[in-house]
Structure 1
Amino acid sequence: MSLRSRLLGSALLVVGVTAVGLAGTVAPAFVPSSSAADGIALTAPAPLSSLAAPALLAAGSVLLVGGAAAATGGDGSARAALVAPAFGAVAALAFGVGLVAAPGSAPATATNPAAHAVLTTGPPARIAAGAAVGGAVAPVVRATTTEDTVALLAGSVLLLAALAAGASDPLSLVTGGVGGAVAVALLWAVDPDRWRP
């Protein structure tokens, strides 16, 4: 494994972690609220948080997968890239229960029945769907270039499932898809040995 590959991998990991961290600061989240009937309230730190969060999560998760492959000298297989959509979706839901907005109360929020209902249908779920759509771009592209049929089918199923789950918020799906596509384009440009056919 070359020094260039290690440095590239480290840089991609830093950019990926930064993108995911930024997503955590702008994602809508449940926080404790004594004035709310259910004891929790949904906050949106930024007016466009439902657009920025899926793009940042998708890009970050794809760059983390690409960076890990480069840093470890792996081949960046399509099957390994299947982690990206799952990571983005799980991070969106974790941010939705206040992991960044109210870290001390995140466990209590996660067990709140009212939060469960909104997590599966509200803004955090829509952001998770957008992040999954964007994250699924990586395994689909990688499987296409390496002709890995199994990974291509799995990535396509994940992509279609995320599209169906987030159909009520097409903007999150679009921004997540754009974020994932931009991250794959970056990997295509800076790490052609792994990402180009």
Structure 2
Amino acid sequence: MSMLPRRLVGLVALVVAAASLALAAGTTPAIVASSTSSTGFAAVTPSPVSLLASPALLAVGSVLFVGGAAAIADANLSARAAMLAPTLGVVAAGVFGLGFGLDPGSALATATDPAAYELLGTGVGARIAAGAVAGGAVAPVVRASTTEDTVVLLVGAALLLAAVAAGSDAPLALLAGGVAGALAVGALWAVDSAAWRP
């Protein structure tokens, strides 16, 4: 049982989630406007470890955000509310993949061009999103297992399988996201045991 007040645990989880998502904004490969490319866009990878760091940071940020929000509100985290974690992860991966983290000045122009979405969905962005979904889906699967919510358990398992299928060409991104999501759930399990344990 945690000795810390639940709202304090939630506040710390939200701060760590915000830091994780901020770091993900700077490490997620992005599609940015480029005058030298034939498509008008270029893929920018800010770091050689972006395929590992980005899905891990997105998974940790999304899981801790959902768990922290429930703790700070002193609310019971239902399995259905935990489904927000993979949703947040994939939305953040898309937003950062469109350049809102690396090049905010051209991100709006990128976000309004359908060609950018095609490039994002077929390149590194899809792999990052798959890893983020795999990590974020750990939270609803664990909550559904402990609360015996069969529908969410099936949906969470389907999300995990879909992430594995979508990211099959980038197993390290899937592994990084999945392990990071499991570690975030484990941390919440340890410090916010009232909400996570059966």
Per the shorter chain, which TM-score range? Answer: over 0.9
Determine the C-alpha separation between the residues in 1 that align with 2:73 and 2:114: 41
Determine the C-alpha separation between the residues in 2 that align with 1:56 and 1:136: 14
Amino acid paired to 2:60 = A
Deviation of the 1:116 alpha carbon: 1.9
CA-atom RMSD in angstroms: 1.2
User: Following superposition, which runs of at least 4 residues in structure 1 exceed 3 angstroms of deviation?
Assistant: none
- For these two proteins, the number of residue pairs brought into alignment is 195
Deviation of the 1:111 alpha carbon: 2.6
Q: 2:96 maps to what in 1?
A: 95
Deviation of the 1:164 alpha carbon: 1.2
Q: 2:31 touches 2:44 (CA, 8 Å); kept in 1?
A: yes
What is the 5 A alignment of 1:186-197? 186-197=187-198
Establish whether residue 161 from structure 1 lines up as the match of residue 169 from structure 2: no
Q: 1:44 maps to what in 2?
A: 45
Deviation of the 1:147 alpha carbon: 1.0
Query: SS where residue 99 of structure 2 aligns?
Result: coil
Q: 2:29 maps to what in 1?
A: 28
Determine the C-alpha separation between the residues in 2 that align with 1:31 and 1:121: 15
- 1:121-153 deviation line (CA, Å, top 9, x unaligned): 111111001000000000001110111111111
Q: 1:18 maps to what in 2?
A: 19
Determine the C-alpha separation between the residues in 1 that align with 2:163 and 2:25: 20
Normalising by structure 2, we get a TM-score of 0.95
Q: 1:54 maps to what in 2?
A: 55
Amino acid paired to 2:196 = W
Normalising by structure 1, we get a TM-score of 0.95
- 1:6-50 deviation line (CA, Å, top 9, x unaligned): 111111001011111101100101122211112211111111101
Amino acid paired to 1:6 = R
Q: 2:127 maps to what in 1?
A: 126
Q: 2:171 maps to what in 1?
A: 170
Amino acid paired to 1:85 = P
Amino acid paired to 2:57 = L
Amino acid paired to 2:113 = N
In percent, how many aligned pairs have the same letter? 59
